[in-house]
Structure 1
Amino acid sequence: HGVRPDLMVKLRQPTFVVGVAAALITAVLASTASFIASVPGRSRLWLWLPAPAVVVWMSTIGYGCLTDWVSIGPNGMSPGETARCFATLAITGIPLSLAMLLMLRYVARLAPTAIVMTGSLAVAAMTSAALSLFHPLDATVMIVMWNVGVAVVLMVFSGLYGRRLSGWVAPKG
């Protein structure tokens, strides 16, 4: 459905701009960290590279929740908006997840859990930026549920199944 109709207005709001920028920076730093840390002999401390950007990103979401917690309205959210939000996340997140998995498939054997978790953080941050740019409703509670929830689910999933997943994508041999 294209970019949100009020994007130009939102780009004049510092909290929105900082949140989107922090999400994009988190995505870049997390993907960079996952690739650098996956090189044999490189320090795993690289996995902390996105930490400052994550703090800024999460603080803008938290700030939005504190200031706009009643912005949804008395009737709540409509199912159509939730479906569009989920569609935006799926359209952005699934291809990025598959691309990251394919790019890290061989090198993730060294530290699959940490590297896949960092790659998942990159995907979650990118989907957050996409949601902010394409989803027209400022529902900060829903954004927290989807973005932080998806980030946590991806990181837990990658933590639990990272070794098995990297073995499936890049079989030994």
Structure 2
Amino acid sequence: MKAKDHITKGTDKIINSTNAKWVAFRQFIFAPNLLTFVISVVVGNSFGSAIKDLISTASGTVNFILKWSMNKNHPLDFDLIMAPFGDFLNSFLTMLFIALTVFYTIQFINNSLIRTKEEQWGFDQAHEDALVFQKMQAENNKLQAENAKLQREILSKLEAIQEKQ
């Protein structure tokens, strides 16, 4: 019987240790600051590429217009515009796809892997507190309006009593 208890305790210790490590890893990997940094790097990099290709498109357009306006016999070389525009379109669509993928991945993580609202990526305690404060302020404003109405009623009744005397 003692050997069985020893094995059970050892198994429980391993399971608890594994669970604690899993929780710590999950908290690390889904930490809002880490995810914000990763998203900023990935989306920012693709945004930078899209801007670079947009500038190349503008530069190609200016080059096309200059060649066309300066030399009347110059053949129209639309590749000066179309090739950089194609690169820009490719970069823009890549950026959009990356942003959508990140968004839906975060949605999946928040809805499937995170157990509490406070652990979810994008959770903002200050915002939640502000919403609670706004609700309390609205209730306070309502109560003050009711109080002012009751005070006006009391004053009008007192005035009516004073007029009778």
Instruction: Give the TM-score band, short-chain normalised.
Output: 0.3 to 0.5
Normalising by structure 1, report the TM-score: 0.32
Structure number with greater CO (CA < 8 Å, separation at least 6) is 1
Normalising by structure 2, report the TM-score: 0.33
Higher alpha-carbon Rg? 2
